[in-house]
Amino acid sequence: MQTPHPFPRHVLLALALAAALNASAQTYEVKPPGAEFEKFNPLLAPPVSTTLLLQKGDRLAICGDSITEQKMYSRIIETYLTVCVPELAVTVRQYGWSGERASGFLRRMTNDCLRFRPTIATTCYGMNDHRYVPWTEEIGRDYRVNSLGVIRAFKAAGVRVIHGSPGPVTKMPGWVKTATGTVEDLNLSLCELRNDGIRMAAEERVAFADIFWPMHTANYFARKQYGPDYSVAGKDGVHPGWAGQLVMAYAFLKAMGLDGDLGTLTVDLAKGKATATRGHEVTGATQGEFTFRSSRYPFCATGDVNSDQSIRSGMTLVPFNQELNRLMLVAKGAKAGRYQVTWGATSRSYSGAELAKGVNLAADFVENPFSAAFKKVDDAVLAKQSYETKQIKTEFRSAEAKQDMEAVVQRTEAERAPLAEAVAKALVPVEHTIRIHRE
């Protein structure tokens, strides 16, 4: 399968150049060309920290509304943390609740979330808070009061916070009978909540994950690239498919300060030797064939690059592979002009110069020797997160819980424990071989 290409370089480079030239005086994000962006005034998002926000042994709480309860971006995050940075030993719980506003989570966070003593939390509210109507001061005031309440309650419990903005909409939600205005009206309202989120994060000195603007602009470029039916916000206009969920996960993972260095496998074609960085070890090396044992995986994703239901398509909307998913192969001592690299069942052609500079195996090999092992971890994550939804929404609201909440907590934790253990057990070292031959 051909590696998907990003959006036209001239467009992205023009935006990047404009941002760089205006960085010192710029108050707002650079807007793509087009009348549909004229009314938007997105504040410049704070730069992503280059310092790792995560700490070893962190307990991450992923909090949000139905978009979180979809268990898609939350699953990408947990699977990524499990396989890509296993040395951090981060554990995760998902707290999504369909239809919820920030006020709803504020009311339940002590019972449902803080009792499990998270050390870091992501929040993603605003979609329901904007009420699917044009912006009003009342909407802004309620969102701010309740979002600050959530942030401050987390901080009081010693929890580090990544405040996430809401995403955009791409059509009027037909199931919301009280929805009024236009799609642009709703997005202008959501942009206001995003802007206030930036202000709140600065005031409270917490991290910020920009969901709205990257998704809104990605939708513009995606429709030019993949057609007018492509929707970063999902087919119903609100709940993203896998492409949009990947954009969301990217924003949160970047806000965590992760650098995306998953390791480097260095081979010497002339000497038939190899070395590897942490998380990988060389188990065999001969002329043109190198075997490794890896306890750190790349993030594996397949799917139709043209489909908004594909994680692989989402990887073309943001620099996920470049910034978060780099498993590099560096080949020294190349004598020929071109080489065929075979990894698993897939082969690709590279120049000797490209191999000397280094190629990203995670980006170039869609199917690779980690794919099966990765799927087992991801399946275990889904099973665990699915139970967490049942635990919070059903078990914690049962008649039994009203009589004896602590007994329900103890029982459900015993049921969840093997599911959490299954995630850890699914991560096993992968033996893989890279073959490099002259063409």
**Residue pLDDT tens, the chain, 439 long:** 334 444 444 444 444 444 444 443 459 999 998 888 999 999 999 998 889 999 999 999 999 999 999 999 999 999 999 999 999 999 999 999 999 999 999 999 999 999 999 999 999 999 999 999 999 999 999 999 999 999 999 999 999 999 999 999 999 999 999 999 999 999 999 999 999 999 999 999 999 999 999 999 999 999 999 999 999 999 999 999 999 999 999 999 999 999 999 999 999 999 999 999 999 999 999 989 999 999 999 999 999 999 999 999 999 999 999 999 999 999 999 999 999 999 999 999 999 999 999 999 999 999 999 999 999 999 999 999 999 999 999 999 999 999 999 999 999 999 999 999 999 999 999 999 999 999 9
Regarding whether 352 and 218 lie in a shared domain, the answer is: no
Q: Alpha carbon of 245 to those of 62, 123, 216, 278, 313: distances in Å?
A: 14, 15, 13, 30, 11
Instruction: Assess if residue 149 is contained within a domain.
Output: yes
Q: Where residue 159 sits, what CATH number does that domain have?
A: 3.40.50.1110
- Please tell me the predicted confidence (pLDDT) of residue 26: 58
- Please tell me the predicted confidence (pLDDT) of residue 395: 98
Regarding whether 280 and 196 lie in a shared domain, the answer is: no
Regarding whether 139 and 49 lie in a shared domain, the answer is: yes
Instruction: Assess if residue 241 is contained within a domain.
Output: yes
Instruction: Assess if residue 161 is contained within a domain.
Output: yes
Instruction: Assess if residue 328 is contained within a domain.
Output: yes
Distance CA 291, CA 13 (A): 39
- Please tell me the predicted confidence (pLDDT) of residue 17: 44
Q: Which residue has the tokens 């690779």?
A: 368
Give the total number of structural domains in the chain: 2
Regarding whether 198 and 241 lie in a shared domain, the answer is: yes
Instruction: Assess if residue 422 is contained within a domain.
Output: no
Distance CA 122, CA 201 (A): 12
Instruction: Assess if residue 95 is contained within a domain.
Output: yes
Regarding whether 274 and 193 lie in a shared domain, the answer is: no
- Please tell me the predicted confidence (pLDDT) of residue 34: 82
Mark which of 255, 280, 301 sits at the end of a domain. Answer: 255
Regarding whether 160 and 121 lie in a shared domain, the answer is: yes
Instruction: Assess if residue 343 is contained within a domain.
Output: yes
Regarding whether 247 and 100 lie in a shared domain, the answer is: yes
Regarding whether 138 and 272 lie in a shared domain, the answer is: no
Q: Which two tokens stand for residue 37?
A: 């962006």
Regarding whether 322 and 212 lie in a shared domain, the answer is: no
Regarding whether 269 and 220 lie in a shared domain, the answer is: no
Mark which of 198, 229, 255 sits at the end of a domain. Answer: 255
Domain that holds residue 83: 27-255
Mark which of 202, 222, 255 sits at the end of a domain. Answer: 255
Residue 411, judged by CB atoms within 10 A of its CB (0-12, 13-18, 19+), counts as: middle
Cβ-Cβ contacts under 8 Å for 33 (sequence gap 6 or more): none
Distance CA 362, CA 348 (A): 13
Instruction: Assess if residue 100 is contained within a domain.
Output: yes
The 10 Å Cβ neighbour count of residue 177 is: 7
